[in-house]
Structure 1
Amino acid sequence: MALTTRRRALTTLAAGLAGSVALPAYAQAGEDRHRPRPLWRAHAHNDYLHPRPLLDALDHRFGSVEADIYLVDGQLLVAHDPVELDPARTLESLYLNPLAARVKANGGSVYRGHRRPLQLLIDIKTEGAATYLELDRRLRRYRHLFTTYSRGRVRPGAVTAVISGDRAARVPMEAQSERRAFYDGRLLDLLAPVPAPASFIPLVSDNWTLNFTWQGVGTFPEAERQKLRSIVSTAHSRGQRVRFWATPDLAGPARDAVWGELLAADADHLNTDDLAGLEAFLDARGRS
Protein backbone atom coordinates (compact mmCIF):
# COMPACT_ATOMS: atom_id res chain seq x y z
CA MET A 1 0.00 0.00 0.00
CA ALA A 2 1.33 3.43 -0.91
CA LEU A 3 2.32 5.66 2.04
CA THR A 4 -0.28 8.31 1.16
CA THR A 5 -3.04 5.72 0.83
CA ARG A 6 -2.03 4.12 4.13
CA ARG A 7 -2.11 7.45 5.96
CA ARG A 8 -5.55 8.17 4.51
CA ALA A 9 -6.80 4.77 5.68
CA LEU A 10 -5.42 5.30 9.20
CA THR A 11 -6.97 8.76 9.36
CA THR A 12 -10.36 7.36 8.32
CA LEU A 13 -10.08 4.58 10.93
CA ALA A 14 -9.19 7.07 13.67
CA ALA A 15 -12.12 9.30 12.74
CA GLY A 16 -14.47 6.33 12.83
CA LEU A 17 -13.23 5.30 16.28
CA ALA A 18 -13.55 8.86 17.61
CA GLY A 19 -17.12 8.98 16.37
CA SER A 20 -18.04 5.68 18.00
CA VAL A 21 -16.42 6.26 21.41
CA ALA A 22 -17.75 9.04 23.66
CA LEU A 23 -14.65 10.68 25.09
CA PRO A 24 -14.78 12.92 28.17
CA ALA A 25 -14.85 16.63 27.39
CA TYR A 26 -11.36 17.14 28.78
CA ALA A 27 -10.01 14.37 26.52
CA GLN A 28 -11.78 15.83 23.49
CA ALA A 29 -10.12 19.15 24.26
CA GLY A 30 -6.71 17.49 24.38
CA GLU A 31 -6.31 17.98 28.13
CA ASP A 32 -3.86 15.80 30.04
CA ARG A 33 -5.75 12.66 31.10
CA HIS A 34 -3.71 12.57 34.30
CA ARG A 35 -4.81 16.10 35.17
CA PRO A 36 -8.49 16.22 34.16
CA ARG A 37 -10.34 19.50 34.38
CA PRO A 38 -11.82 20.02 37.86
CA LEU A 39 -15.53 20.83 37.92
CA TRP A 40 -15.45 23.92 40.12
CA ARG A 41 -19.23 24.46 39.85
CA ALA A 42 -20.01 20.95 41.09
CA HIS A 43 -21.09 20.87 44.74
CA ALA A 44 -21.46 17.54 46.53
CA HIS A 45 -24.44 18.07 48.83
CA ASN A 46 -24.52 15.63 51.77
CA ASP A 47 -21.16 14.36 50.52
CA TYR A 48 -20.60 12.21 53.61
CA LEU A 49 -23.49 9.90 52.61
CA HIS A 50 -21.49 8.50 49.69
CA PRO A 51 -19.64 5.18 50.16
CA ARG A 52 -16.30 7.02 50.23
CA PRO A 53 -16.86 10.51 51.66
CA LEU A 54 -14.72 13.18 49.97
CA LEU A 55 -12.89 10.62 47.81
CA ASP A 56 -15.89 9.82 45.62
CA ALA A 57 -16.45 13.53 45.00
CA LEU A 58 -12.78 14.04 44.13
CA ASP A 59 -12.89 11.07 41.76
CA HIS A 60 -15.75 12.86 39.98
CA ARG A 61 -13.65 16.07 39.97
CA PHE A 62 -15.98 18.12 42.20
CA GLY A 63 -14.79 21.53 43.33
CA SER A 64 -16.98 21.75 46.44
CA VAL A 65 -18.06 19.23 49.09
CA GLU A 66 -20.39 19.54 52.07
CA ALA A 67 -20.13 17.97 55.52
CA ASP A 68 -22.67 18.31 58.34
CA ILE A 69 -21.12 18.36 61.82
CA TYR A 70 -22.33 17.84 65.38
CA LEU A 71 -20.38 18.79 68.49
CA VAL A 72 -20.62 15.74 70.76
CA ASP A 73 -18.45 15.35 73.88
CA GLY A 74 -15.77 17.56 72.41
CA GLN A 75 -15.68 15.75 69.08
CA LEU A 76 -16.89 17.00 65.70
CA LEU A 77 -18.90 14.12 64.26
CA VAL A 78 -20.15 14.00 60.67
CA ALA A 79 -23.73 12.85 60.07
CA HIS A 80 -27.02 13.92 58.52
CA ASP A 81 -29.20 13.16 61.56
CA PRO A 82 -28.37 12.58 65.24
CA VAL A 83 -29.37 8.89 65.03
CA GLU A 84 -26.53 8.38 62.53
CA LEU A 85 -23.77 9.72 64.78
CA ASP A 86 -20.72 7.44 64.93
CA PRO A 87 -17.63 8.28 67.05
CA ALA A 88 -15.42 6.94 64.26
CA ARG A 89 -16.83 9.35 61.67
CA THR A 90 -15.14 12.59 62.68
CA LEU A 91 -14.45 15.65 60.57
CA GLU A 92 -10.75 14.89 60.84
CA SER A 93 -10.99 11.26 59.75
CA LEU A 94 -13.35 11.83 56.82
CA TYR A 95 -12.14 15.21 55.54
CA LEU A 96 -9.29 17.07 57.21
CA ASN A 97 -6.71 14.27 57.33
CA PRO A 98 -7.42 12.98 53.79
CA LEU A 99 -7.30 16.52 52.40
CA ALA A 100 -4.00 17.25 54.16
CA ALA A 101 -2.49 14.03 52.80
CA ARG A 102 -3.69 14.72 49.27
CA VAL A 103 -2.45 18.31 49.25
CA LYS A 104 0.95 17.18 50.50
CA ALA A 105 1.15 14.49 47.81
CA ASN A 106 0.09 16.99 45.11
CA GLY A 107 2.62 19.63 46.03
CA GLY A 108 0.21 22.06 47.61
CA SER A 109 -3.09 21.63 45.80
CA VAL A 110 -6.11 19.35 45.90
CA TYR A 111 -6.04 18.87 42.13
CA ARG A 112 -2.48 18.55 40.84
CA GLY A 113 -1.65 21.39 38.50
CA HIS A 114 -4.67 23.48 39.63
CA ARG A 115 -4.13 26.07 42.37
CA ARG A 116 -7.76 27.05 42.82
CA PRO A 117 -8.95 26.05 46.32
CA LEU A 118 -11.43 23.26 46.91
CA GLN A 119 -14.44 24.53 48.87
CA LEU A 120 -15.26 22.62 52.05
CA LEU A 121 -18.74 23.70 53.16
CA ILE A 122 -19.18 22.79 56.83
CA ASP A 123 -22.83 22.79 57.93
CA ILE A 124 -23.13 23.19 61.72
CA LYS A 125 -26.02 21.20 63.17
CA THR A 126 -25.49 21.89 66.88
CA GLU A 127 -25.38 25.29 68.63
CA GLY A 128 -23.40 27.48 66.29
CA ALA A 129 -21.11 29.52 68.53
CA ALA A 130 -19.76 26.66 70.62
CA THR A 131 -19.45 24.34 67.63
CA TYR A 132 -17.61 26.94 65.59
CA LEU A 133 -15.13 27.69 68.38
CA GLU A 134 -14.27 23.98 68.59
CA LEU A 135 -14.06 23.80 64.81
CA ASP A 136 -11.73 26.80 64.77
CA ARG A 137 -9.39 24.98 67.16
CA ARG A 138 -9.33 21.97 64.83
CA LEU A 139 -8.71 24.02 61.70
CA ARG A 140 -5.71 25.72 63.32
CA ARG A 141 -3.99 22.34 63.51
CA TYR A 142 -3.92 22.37 59.70
CA ARG A 143 -2.30 25.78 59.38
CA HIS A 144 -0.91 25.26 55.87
CA LEU A 145 -4.07 23.71 54.40
CA PHE A 146 -6.72 26.42 54.58
CA THR A 147 -7.37 29.81 53.08
CA THR A 148 -6.94 32.35 55.87
CA TYR A 149 -8.22 35.79 56.73
CA SER A 150 -5.85 37.95 58.76
CA ARG A 151 -6.38 41.61 59.56
CA GLY A 152 -8.14 42.48 56.36
CA ARG A 153 -6.20 40.24 53.99
CA VAL A 154 -7.21 36.90 52.50
CA ARG A 155 -4.42 34.42 51.76
CA PRO A 156 -5.54 31.54 49.52
CA GLY A 157 -4.84 27.98 50.58
CA ALA A 158 -5.51 24.60 49.02
CA VAL A 159 -8.90 24.42 50.77
CA THR A 160 -11.38 27.17 51.67
CA ALA A 161 -13.64 26.31 54.60
CA VAL A 162 -17.06 28.00 54.52
CA ILE A 163 -19.32 27.75 57.58
CA SER A 164 -23.04 27.18 57.10
CA GLY A 165 -25.86 25.87 59.25
CA ASP A 166 -26.66 27.34 62.68
CA ARG A 167 -26.43 31.12 62.29
CA ALA A 168 -25.06 31.70 65.80
CA ALA A 169 -21.60 30.91 64.40
CA ARG A 170 -21.54 34.37 62.85
CA VAL A 171 -20.93 36.23 66.12
CA PRO A 172 -17.62 34.58 67.11
CA MET A 173 -16.47 34.55 63.49
CA GLU A 174 -16.98 38.30 63.02
CA ALA A 175 -15.11 38.96 66.26
CA GLN A 176 -11.94 37.28 64.99
CA SER A 177 -9.10 39.27 63.44
CA GLU A 178 -7.72 35.99 62.08
CA ARG A 179 -9.75 33.07 60.73
CA ARG A 180 -9.31 29.86 58.77
CA ALA A 181 -12.95 29.84 57.72
CA PHE A 182 -15.53 32.08 56.05
CA TYR A 183 -19.28 32.53 56.39
CA ASP A 184 -22.05 31.22 54.12
CA GLY A 185 -24.47 34.11 53.62
CA ARG A 186 -28.13 34.13 52.62
CA LEU A 187 -30.03 36.23 50.10
CA LEU A 188 -30.97 38.64 52.89
CA ASP A 189 -27.28 39.46 53.19
CA LEU A 190 -27.39 40.83 49.63
CA LEU A 191 -30.14 43.24 50.75
CA ALA A 192 -28.44 44.41 53.94
CA PRO A 193 -27.95 48.21 54.18
CA VAL A 194 -24.24 47.61 54.70
CA PRO A 195 -23.43 44.24 53.10
CA ALA A 196 -20.65 42.18 54.62
CA PRO A 197 -17.57 42.00 52.39
CA ALA A 198 -16.56 38.94 50.40
CA SER A 199 -13.64 38.54 52.80
CA PHE A 200 -16.26 37.42 55.34
CA ILE A 201 -19.10 36.17 53.10
CA PRO A 202 -17.58 34.75 49.90
CA LEU A 203 -20.60 32.51 49.28
CA VAL A 204 -24.34 33.28 49.28
CA SER A 205 -26.59 30.20 49.52
CA ASP A 206 -30.35 29.86 49.72
CA ASN A 207 -33.28 27.49 49.28
CA TRP A 208 -34.43 27.37 45.65
CA THR A 209 -38.03 26.47 46.54
CA LEU A 210 -38.40 29.52 48.81
CA ASN A 211 -37.35 31.87 46.03
CA PHE A 212 -38.63 30.30 42.79
CA THR A 213 -41.83 28.48 41.87
CA TRP A 214 -40.34 26.85 38.77
CA GLN A 215 -39.12 23.27 39.19
CA GLY A 216 -37.90 22.65 35.65
CA VAL A 217 -41.25 21.71 34.04
CA GLY A 218 -42.46 23.98 31.27
CA THR A 219 -41.05 27.44 30.60
CA PHE A 220 -39.03 29.28 33.20
CA PRO A 221 -41.13 32.38 34.02
CA GLU A 222 -39.32 35.42 32.68
CA ALA A 223 -39.72 37.33 35.94
CA GLU A 224 -38.05 34.47 37.80
CA ARG A 225 -35.28 34.21 35.21
CA GLN A 226 -34.53 37.90 35.65
CA LYS A 227 -34.64 37.53 39.42
CA LEU A 228 -32.07 34.72 39.26
CA ARG A 229 -29.77 36.70 37.01
CA SER A 230 -30.10 39.78 39.20
CA ILE A 231 -29.13 37.75 42.29
CA VAL A 232 -26.05 36.34 40.58
CA SER A 233 -25.06 39.70 39.10
CA THR A 234 -25.36 41.47 42.45
CA ALA A 235 -23.31 38.82 44.23
CA HIS A 236 -20.63 38.80 41.54
CA SER A 237 -20.35 42.59 41.66
CA ARG A 238 -19.31 42.14 45.30
CA GLY A 239 -16.93 39.29 44.65
CA GLN A 240 -19.31 36.67 46.05
CA ARG A 241 -20.44 33.31 44.67
CA VAL A 242 -23.99 31.92 44.53
CA ARG A 243 -25.42 28.49 45.37
CA PHE A 244 -28.99 27.22 45.71
CA TRP A 245 -29.95 24.08 47.56
CA ALA A 246 -33.23 22.14 47.21
CA THR A 247 -33.07 22.29 43.41
CA PRO A 248 -34.59 19.27 41.59
CA ASP A 249 -32.19 16.34 41.87
CA LEU A 250 -34.00 13.44 40.22
CA ALA A 251 -32.33 12.55 36.91
CA GLY A 252 -34.40 13.77 33.97
CA PRO A 253 -35.40 16.79 31.88
CA ALA A 254 -36.62 18.89 34.83
CA ARG A 255 -33.30 18.70 36.65
CA ASP A 256 -31.39 19.38 33.44
CA ALA A 257 -33.59 22.39 32.73
CA VAL A 258 -32.93 23.95 36.14
CA TRP A 259 -29.21 23.23 35.92
CA GLY A 260 -29.20 24.75 32.44
CA GLU A 261 -30.79 27.97 33.67
CA LEU A 262 -28.32 28.15 36.56
CA LEU A 263 -25.45 27.82 34.09
CA ALA A 264 -26.97 30.43 31.80
CA ALA A 265 -27.23 32.83 34.76
CA ASP A 266 -23.58 32.07 35.66
CA ALA A 267 -24.44 30.65 39.09
CA ASP A 268 -21.27 29.39 40.72
CA HIS A 269 -22.36 26.04 42.16
CA LEU A 270 -24.81 23.34 41.12
CA ASN A 271 -26.06 21.32 44.08
CA THR A 272 -26.45 17.53 43.85
CA ASP A 273 -26.30 14.15 45.55
CA ASP A 274 -25.77 12.52 42.13
CA LEU A 275 -22.03 12.84 41.52
CA ALA A 276 -21.91 10.99 38.20
CA GLY A 277 -25.02 12.76 36.93
CA LEU A 278 -23.67 16.27 37.45
CA GLU A 279 -20.24 15.30 36.14
CA ALA A 280 -21.81 14.02 32.91
CA PHE A 281 -24.03 17.12 32.61
CA LEU A 282 -21.12 19.55 32.91
CA ASP A 283 -18.83 17.50 30.67
CA ALA A 284 -21.47 17.35 27.94
CA ARG A 285 -21.61 21.14 27.96
CA GLY A 286 -17.88 21.69 28.30
CA ARG A 287 -18.41 23.60 31.56
CA SER A 288 -16.40 23.49 34.72
Structure 2
Amino acid sequence: DYEHPRPLLDALDHRFGSVEADIYLVGDQLLVAHDPEDLDPSRTLESLYLDPLAARVRAGRGSVYRGHRAPLQLLIDIKTEGSSTYLALDRRLRRHRHLFTTYAGGRVHPGPVTAVISGDRAARGPMEAQTVRRAFYDGRLADLGSTAPASFISLISDNWTLNFGWLGEGAFPDAERRKLRDIVRTAHAHGQKVRFWATPDLAGPARTALWTELLAAGVDYLNTDDLAGLEAFLDSYRPAA
Protein backbone atom coordinates (compact mmCIF):
# COMPACT_ATOMS: atom_id res chain seq x y z
CA ASP A 1 0.00 0.00 0.00
CA TYR A 2 2.67 2.50 1.07
CA GLU A 3 4.33 2.51 -2.37
CA HIS A 4 1.22 4.02 -3.94
CA PRO A 5 1.09 7.80 -4.48
CA ARG A 6 -1.27 8.29 -1.53
CA PRO A 7 -0.58 5.57 1.05
CA LEU A 8 -3.71 4.39 2.85
CA LEU A 9 -5.93 6.91 1.07
CA ASP A 10 -5.63 5.23 -2.33
CA ALA A 11 -6.69 1.90 -0.80
CA LEU A 12 -9.61 3.53 1.00
CA ASP A 13 -10.70 5.28 -2.19
CA HIS A 14 -10.99 1.80 -3.71
CA ARG A 15 -13.15 0.70 -0.73
CA PHE A 16 -10.85 -2.07 0.46
CA GLY A 17 -11.20 -3.75 3.83
CA SER A 18 -7.51 -4.34 4.50
CA VAL A 19 -4.27 -2.43 3.98
CA GLU A 20 -0.71 -3.51 4.68
CA ALA A 21 2.32 -1.58 5.89
CA ASP A 22 5.87 -2.85 6.43
CA ILE A 23 7.60 -1.27 9.42
CA TYR A 24 11.19 -0.92 10.63
CA LEU A 25 12.21 0.16 14.12
CA VAL A 26 14.93 2.77 13.57
CA GLY A 27 16.01 4.37 16.83
CA ASP A 28 12.72 5.20 18.47
CA GLN A 29 10.85 5.65 15.19
CA LEU A 30 8.66 3.20 13.30
CA LEU A 31 9.38 3.86 9.64
CA VAL A 32 7.36 2.49 6.74
CA ALA A 33 9.25 1.01 3.78
CA HIS A 34 9.53 -2.20 1.81
CA ASP A 35 13.33 -2.32 1.82
CA PRO A 36 15.92 -0.79 4.18
CA GLU A 37 17.38 1.40 1.42
CA ASP A 38 13.98 3.10 1.07
CA LEU A 39 13.78 4.26 4.69
CA ASP A 40 12.83 7.92 5.05
CA PRO A 41 12.55 9.56 8.49
CA SER A 42 9.47 11.47 7.35
CA ARG A 43 7.54 8.31 6.46
CA THR A 44 6.47 7.11 9.88
CA LEU A 45 3.67 4.74 10.74
CA GLU A 46 1.95 7.56 12.60
CA SER A 47 2.08 10.07 9.76
CA LEU A 48 1.08 7.66 6.99
CA TYR A 49 -1.45 5.46 8.79
CA LEU A 50 -2.31 6.03 12.44
CA ASP A 51 -2.98 9.77 12.38
CA PRO A 52 -4.93 9.72 9.07
CA LEU A 53 -7.01 6.77 10.28
CA ALA A 54 -7.81 8.53 13.54
CA ALA A 55 -8.89 11.65 11.63
CA ARG A 56 -10.99 9.62 9.20
CA VAL A 57 -12.75 7.74 11.99
CA ARG A 58 -13.57 11.00 13.74
CA ALA A 59 -15.00 12.37 10.50
CA GLY A 60 -16.83 9.10 9.85
CA ARG A 61 -18.60 9.13 13.21
CA GLY A 62 -16.74 6.13 14.52
CA SER A 63 -16.13 4.21 11.28
CA VAL A 64 -13.47 4.17 8.59
CA TYR A 65 -16.30 3.98 6.05
CA ARG A 66 -19.25 5.99 7.30
CA GLY A 67 -22.28 3.79 7.80
CA HIS A 68 -20.22 0.61 7.51
CA ARG A 69 -19.35 -0.86 10.90
CA ALA A 70 -16.98 -3.67 9.90
CA PRO A 71 -13.43 -2.85 11.06
CA LEU A 72 -10.68 -2.07 8.59
CA GLN A 73 -7.81 -4.53 8.92
CA LEU A 74 -4.42 -2.84 9.25
CA LEU A 75 -1.87 -5.57 8.56
CA ILE A 76 1.48 -4.49 9.99
CA ASP A 77 4.45 -6.49 8.70
CA ILE A 78 7.40 -6.22 11.09
CA LYS A 79 10.71 -6.15 9.22
CA THR A 80 13.06 -5.65 12.18
CA GLU A 81 13.43 -7.78 15.33
CA GLY A 82 9.90 -8.69 16.30
CA SER A 83 9.84 -8.34 20.08
CA SER A 84 11.36 -4.87 20.36
CA THR A 85 9.51 -3.60 17.30
CA TYR A 86 6.18 -4.84 18.59
CA LEU A 87 6.71 -3.22 21.99
CA ALA A 88 7.44 0.10 20.26
CA LEU A 89 4.35 -0.40 18.11
CA ASP A 90 2.21 -1.22 21.13
CA ARG A 91 3.11 2.12 22.71
CA ARG A 92 1.82 3.88 19.61
CA LEU A 93 -1.35 1.83 19.41
CA ARG A 94 -2.12 2.75 23.02
CA ARG A 95 -2.06 6.43 22.06
CA HIS A 96 -5.02 5.67 19.78
CA ARG A 97 -6.85 3.38 22.18
CA HIS A 98 -10.32 4.20 20.84
CA LEU A 99 -9.26 3.46 17.27
CA PHE A 100 -8.33 -0.20 17.60
CA THR A 101 -10.12 -3.46 18.27
CA THR A 102 -8.91 -4.50 21.71
CA TYR A 103 -8.52 -7.76 23.60
CA ALA A 104 -9.19 -7.17 27.30
CA GLY A 105 -10.87 -9.05 30.11
CA GLY A 106 -10.78 -12.23 28.05
CA ARG A 107 -12.96 -10.67 25.34
CA VAL A 108 -12.53 -8.93 22.00
CA HIS A 109 -13.95 -5.41 21.92
CA PRO A 110 -14.40 -4.31 18.28
CA GLY A 111 -13.07 -0.97 17.13
CA PRO A 112 -12.98 0.86 13.79
CA VAL A 113 -9.56 -0.64 12.94
CA THR A 114 -8.16 -4.10 13.71
CA ALA A 115 -4.35 -4.21 13.77
CA VAL A 116 -2.88 -7.58 12.81
CA ILE A 117 0.83 -8.21 13.33
CA SER A 118 2.74 -10.13 10.67
CA GLY A 119 6.39 -10.44 9.75
CA ASP A 120 9.09 -11.32 12.29
CA ARG A 121 7.78 -14.15 14.45
CA ALA A 122 9.45 -12.88 17.64
CA ALA A 123 6.50 -10.52 18.13
CA ARG A 124 4.45 -13.47 19.30
CA GLY A 125 6.03 -13.72 22.76
CA PRO A 126 5.25 -10.21 24.04
CA MET A 127 1.84 -10.32 22.42
CA GLU A 128 0.89 -13.56 24.17
CA ALA A 129 2.03 -12.11 27.49
CA GLN A 130 -0.38 -9.19 27.31
CA THR A 131 -3.71 -9.24 29.12
CA VAL A 132 -4.75 -6.08 27.26
CA ARG A 133 -3.78 -6.00 23.61
CA ARG A 134 -4.63 -3.66 20.74
CA ALA A 135 -3.39 -5.99 18.03
CA PHE A 136 -3.82 -9.58 16.90
CA TYR A 137 -1.42 -12.12 15.46
CA ASP A 138 -1.11 -13.25 11.86
CA GLY A 139 -0.76 -17.03 12.04
CA ARG A 140 0.47 -19.48 9.44
CA LEU A 141 -1.01 -22.72 8.16
CA ALA A 142 0.99 -24.49 10.87
CA ASP A 143 -1.25 -22.67 13.38
CA LEU A 144 -4.45 -23.88 11.74
CA GLY A 145 -6.51 -25.86 14.21
CA SER A 146 -4.08 -25.16 17.06
CA THR A 147 -5.10 -24.26 20.59
CA ALA A 148 -4.41 -20.56 19.97
CA PRO A 149 -7.83 -18.88 19.82
CA ALA A 150 -9.09 -16.37 17.28
CA SER A 151 -8.87 -13.77 20.04
CA PHE A 152 -5.10 -14.07 19.53
CA ILE A 153 -4.62 -15.44 15.99
CA SER A 154 -7.32 -13.63 14.05
CA LEU A 155 -5.83 -14.32 10.62
CA ILE A 156 -4.22 -17.33 8.94
CA SER A 157 -1.86 -16.32 6.13
CA ASP A 158 0.63 -18.24 4.04
CA ASN A 159 2.62 -18.27 0.82
CA TRP A 160 0.42 -19.61 -1.98
CA THR A 161 3.30 -21.02 -4.01
CA LEU A 162 4.65 -23.06 -1.09
CA ASN A 163 1.30 -24.77 -0.63
CA PHE A 164 -0.27 -24.95 -4.08
CA GLY A 165 1.10 -25.64 -7.53
CA TRP A 166 -1.73 -24.07 -9.53
CA LEU A 167 -1.13 -20.48 -10.66
CA GLY A 168 -4.33 -19.91 -12.60
CA GLU A 169 -3.37 -21.63 -15.86
CA GLY A 170 -5.58 -24.52 -16.94
CA ALA A 171 -7.94 -26.30 -14.58
CA PHE A 172 -7.61 -26.05 -10.82
CA PRO A 173 -6.70 -29.59 -9.69
CA ASP A 174 -9.49 -31.16 -7.66
CA ALA A 175 -7.13 -32.16 -4.86
CA GLU A 176 -5.86 -28.60 -4.51
CA ARG A 177 -9.39 -27.20 -4.56
CA ARG A 178 -10.37 -29.57 -1.75
CA LYS A 179 -7.24 -28.62 0.20
CA LEU A 180 -8.02 -24.91 -0.16
CA ARG A 181 -11.62 -25.34 0.93
CA ASP A 182 -10.58 -27.48 3.90
CA ILE A 183 -8.18 -24.74 5.00
CA VAL A 184 -10.87 -22.08 4.80
CA ARG A 185 -13.48 -24.28 6.48
CA THR A 186 -11.17 -25.04 9.40
CA ALA A 187 -10.12 -21.42 9.86
CA HIS A 188 -13.67 -20.11 9.71
CA ALA A 189 -14.82 -22.75 12.20
CA HIS A 190 -12.26 -21.26 14.60
CA GLY A 191 -13.37 -17.68 13.88
CA GLN A 192 -10.26 -16.89 11.83
CA LYS A 193 -9.92 -15.26 8.43
CA VAL A 194 -7.70 -16.47 5.59
CA ARG A 195 -5.21 -14.77 3.28
CA PHE A 196 -2.55 -15.95 0.85
CA TRP A 197 0.36 -13.94 -0.44
CA ALA A 198 2.57 -14.63 -3.49
CA THR A 199 -0.45 -15.17 -5.73
CA PRO A 200 -0.09 -14.05 -9.38
CA ASP A 201 -0.57 -10.29 -9.66
CA LEU A 202 -0.15 -9.67 -13.38
CA ALA A 203 -3.46 -8.66 -14.95
CA GLY A 204 -4.85 -11.39 -17.16
CA PRO A 205 -6.88 -14.60 -17.26
CA ALA A 206 -4.62 -16.52 -14.86
CA ARG A 207 -4.97 -13.95 -12.09
CA THR A 208 -8.71 -13.70 -12.66
CA ALA A 209 -9.07 -17.48 -12.51
CA LEU A 210 -7.09 -17.74 -9.29
CA TRP A 211 -8.91 -14.86 -7.62
CA THR A 212 -12.22 -16.45 -8.63
CA GLU A 213 -11.26 -19.75 -6.99
CA LEU A 214 -10.08 -17.97 -3.84
CA LEU A 215 -13.37 -16.14 -3.45
CA ALA A 216 -15.39 -19.25 -4.28
CA ALA A 217 -13.55 -21.08 -1.49
CA GLY A 218 -14.32 -18.29 0.97
CA VAL A 219 -10.83 -16.77 1.27
CA ASP A 220 -11.31 -13.45 3.04
CA TYR A 221 -8.55 -11.27 1.60
CA LEU A 222 -6.91 -11.08 -1.82
CA ASN A 223 -3.35 -9.76 -2.01
CA THR A 224 -2.53 -7.28 -4.77
CA ASP A 225 -0.60 -4.16 -5.68
CA ASP A 226 -3.11 -3.44 -8.47
CA LEU A 227 -5.78 -1.49 -6.61
CA ALA A 228 -7.89 -0.59 -9.62
CA GLY A 229 -7.64 -4.12 -11.00
CA LEU A 230 -8.86 -5.71 -7.78
CA GLU A 231 -11.67 -3.20 -7.39
CA ALA A 232 -12.87 -3.91 -10.93
CA PHE A 233 -12.67 -7.66 -10.33
CA LEU A 234 -14.64 -7.48 -7.08
CA ASP A 235 -17.27 -5.20 -8.61
CA SER A 236 -17.82 -7.66 -11.46
CA TYR A 237 -17.53 -10.88 -9.45
CA ARG A 238 -20.65 -13.02 -9.35
CA PRO A 239 -20.58 -16.23 -7.28
CA ALA A 240 -21.38 -19.39 -9.19
CA ALA A 241 -24.95 -20.54 -8.66
- Give the TM-score band, short-chain normalised: over 0.9
- Please tell me whether residue 222 in structure 1 is matched to residue 222 in structure 2: no
Are positions 1:84 and 2:58 aligned together?
Answer: no
Partner of 2:119: 165
Question: Equivalents in 1 of 2:199, 2:216: separation in Å?
Answer: 15
Match for residue 151 of structure 2? 199
The alignment status of 1:126 with 2:80, answered yes or no, reads yes
1:48 equivalent in structure 2: 2
Identity of aligned residues (%): 79
TM-score, normalization by structure 2: 0.98
Name the count of aligned residue pairs. 239
Secondary structure at the aligned position of 2:181 is classed as helix
* TM-score with structure 1 setting the length: 0.82
**Alignment correspondent of 2:91:** 137
1:62 alignment partner, SS class: coil
Whole-Å separation in 1 of the counterparts to 2:35 and 2:145: 32
- Out of 223, 230, 233, the position equivalent to 2:185 is 233
Matched, 1:180 2:138: no
Shift of 1:285: 1.6
Q: Which has more radius of gyration?
A: 1
Q: Distance in 2 between matches of 1:245 and 1:168?
A: 20
Aligned AA for 1:166? D
Match of 1:42 in 2: none
Would the aligned equivalents of 2:145 and 2:186 in 1 still touch at CA under 8 Å? no
What CA deviation, in whole Å up to 9, does each residue of 1:153-185 have, x standing for no partner? 100000000000000000000000000000000
Equivalent in the alignment of 2:160: 208
Residue identity matched to 2:202: L
Of stretches 50-59 and 183-192 in structure 1, the one that deviates more from structure 2 is 183-192
Instruction: Please tell me the root mean square deviation across aligned C-alpha atoms, in Å.
Output: 0.8
C-alpha distance in structure 2 between counterparts of 1:115 and 1:262, whole Å: 24
Q: Secondary structure at the match of 2:184?
A: helix
- Write the distance in 2 (CA, Å) between the matches of 1:191 and 1:65: 26
**Aligned match of 1:105 in 54, 59, 70?**
59
Q: Which has the higher contact order (CA 8 A, sep 6+)?
A: 1
Q: Distance in 2 between matches of 1:204 and 1:274?
A: 22
CA distance, structure 2, for counterparts of residue 190 and residue 140 of structure 1: 29
Q: Which residue is 1:269 aligned to? A: 221
**1:151 positional shift:** 2.3
Q: Do 2:145 and 2:187's aligned partners in 1 also have CA atoms closer than 8 Å? A: no
Give the AA of the match of 1:186: R
Q: Which residue in the other structure is 1:146 paired with?
A: 100
- Which position in structure 2 is the counterpart of 1:74? 28
